[in-house]
């Protein structure tokens, strides 16, 4: 037999042997998982009851004169469940209840677990840990969150930034990140800017006055509108004439969110914007907000050169109550 043939034969032998080995390995892993699941099932009913009891116990001690909960009462429950439960409850309660939750979490040793998760190799786990650490206000947590502002993944950086907004100790670092980190100009960073606008309106206003890329400007405009920052009306109105279409649209929508009369003027201008997408959005916005005063301009869009704008105008005219015959003329095409 030639050397080549012998080599091929060995390779083929290796292929089927390896494949069978892989099959055995896969079956073994599955067997372990099945057994693990079986064990979970056997103690399942008891675990569900325990978890429900824990939920009720914690909720009952969050307000009023009730004494703080003894962590021993939650002994035996998995830390992952307690972390999730406290995270869930923290979104339902405010003020003293939230502080008590944080204190309970710290006493249960959950903070250390979350800090470990913040160093996990799994980016998703790091981001989730940063988000969940927001209710814990110790110096150690603040330091870890500040370090997470330099994380490799945008999701973790944004989550850490959101968690740090109301912490004075981290403010100067956060301010610098807000200016320079591209993650905080991405679409997922809206929560950060909204929280900043709500909790630090003066700082937000200062940042708003600085030049920035259009992506960040759009987020800031949306946040200003959502947080009701009426002191920025004039600056926002100026942005409604920006060269960037996304900024023009965000500024107009922000003015409308602020319910300022300038919003109507901006929307009227947007109805004749050179960008068809903006005209289409303006038509929809007029209809959604029931701006009957703009019916004439919306009706004019029935003759728009863009098919989508014409179609949306037809819908909008009907919504605004102006059943113009042109709206029933069949397909705009």
Contact flags string 93-112 toward other proteins, x per CB under 8 A: --------------------
Cα separation, 86 vs 139, in Å, equals 20
Nearer to other proteins, 200 or 310 (CB): 310
Residues with Cβ within 8 Å of 44's Cβ and at least 6 positions away in sequence, in order, are none
**N- to C-terminal Cα distance for the chain?**
75
Q: Angle formed by the axes of helices 123-132 and 110-117, to 10°?
A: 140
Whether the CB-CB separation of 154 and 183 falls below 8 Å is answered with yes
Instruction: Please identify which residue in 34, 147, 241, 300 interacts with other proteins, judged by CB under 8 A.
Output: 34
Could you tell me the two tokens for 112?
A: 């250390």
How far is residue 143's CA from residue 153's CA, in Å, rounded to a whole number? 18
88 part of the interface to other proteins, by CB under 8 A = yes
Bin 304: left if φ > 0, else alpha if -120 < ψ < 50, else beta.
beta
Q: In the complex, what is the shortest distance from the CB of residue 234 to other proteins, in angstroms, rounded to a whole number?
A: 25
Interface segment toward other proteins; rule CB under 8 A; list 55-63, 97-105, 227-235, 302-310:
302-310
Site string for other proteins, 216-255 (x = CB under 8 A): ----------x-----------------------------
Name which of 80 and 238 has its Cβ closer to other proteins: 80
The Cα 262–Cα 315 span in angstroms is 25
Size of interface with other proteins, in residues (CB under 8 A):
54
In the chain, DSSP finds a helix count (H) and a strand count (E) of 18, 0
Tokens standing for 225?
Answer: 């509108």
> Considering beta carbons, is residue 226 or 295 the nearer one to other proteins?
226
Q: Which stretch binds other proteins (CB under 8 A): 29-37, 164-172, 175-183, 234-242?
A: 29-37
- Whether residue 144 contacts residue 138, with contact meaning beta carbons closer than 8 Å, is answered with no
Which of 82, 101, 104, 127 touches other proteins (CB under 8 A)?
A: 127
Sites of contact with other proteins (CB under 8 A): 9, 12-13, 15-16, 19-20, 22-23, 26-27, 29-30, 33-35, 37-38, 41, 84, 87-88, 91-92, 122-125, 127-128, 155, 187-188, 190-191, 226, 277, 280, 307-308, 310-311, 314-315, 317-318, 323, 327-333
């Amino acid at each position: 037999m030639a050397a080549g043939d012998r080599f091929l034969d060995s390779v083929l032998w290796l292929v089927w042997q390896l494949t069978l080995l892989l099959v055995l390995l896969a079956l073994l892993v599955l067997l372990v998982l099945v057994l693990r699941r079986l064990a979970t099932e056997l103690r399942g009913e008891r675990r569900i009851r325990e978890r429900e009891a824990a939920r009720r116990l914690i909720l009952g001690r969050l307000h009023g004169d009730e004494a703080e909960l003894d962590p021993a009462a939650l002994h035996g429950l998995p830390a992952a469940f307690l972390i999730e439960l406290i995270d869930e409850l923290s979104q339902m309660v405010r003020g003293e209840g939230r502080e008590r939750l944080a204190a309970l979490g710290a006493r249960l040793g959950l903070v250390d677990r979350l800090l470990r998760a913040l160093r996990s190799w799994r980016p998703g786990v790091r981001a989730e840990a940063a988000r969940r650490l927001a209710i814990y206000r110790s110096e150690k947590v603040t330091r870890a969150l500040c370090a997470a502002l330099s994380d490799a993944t945008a999701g973790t950086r944004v989550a850490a930034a959101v968690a740090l907004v109301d912490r004075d100790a981290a403010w100067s670092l956060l301010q610098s990140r807000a200016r320079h980190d591209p993650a905080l100009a991405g679409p997922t960073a809206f929560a950060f800017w909204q929280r900043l606008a709500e909790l630090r309106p003066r700082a937000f206003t200062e940042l708003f006055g600085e030049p920035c890329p259009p992506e960040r400007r759009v987020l800031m405009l949306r946040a200003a509108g959502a947080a009701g920052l009426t002191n920025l009306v004039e600056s926002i109105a100026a942005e409604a004439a920006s060269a960037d279409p996304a900024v023009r649209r965000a500024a107009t929508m922000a003015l409308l969110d602020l319910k300022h009369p300038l919003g109507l003027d901006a929307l009227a201008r947007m109805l004749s914007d050179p960008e068809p997408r903006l005209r289409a959005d303006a038509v929809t916005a007029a209809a959604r907000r029931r701006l009957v005063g703009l019916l004439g301009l919306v009706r004019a869009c029935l003759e728009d050169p863009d098919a989508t704008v014409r179609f949306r105008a037809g819908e909008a005219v009907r919504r605004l109550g102006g059943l113009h015959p042109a709206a029933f003329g069949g397909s705009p095409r």
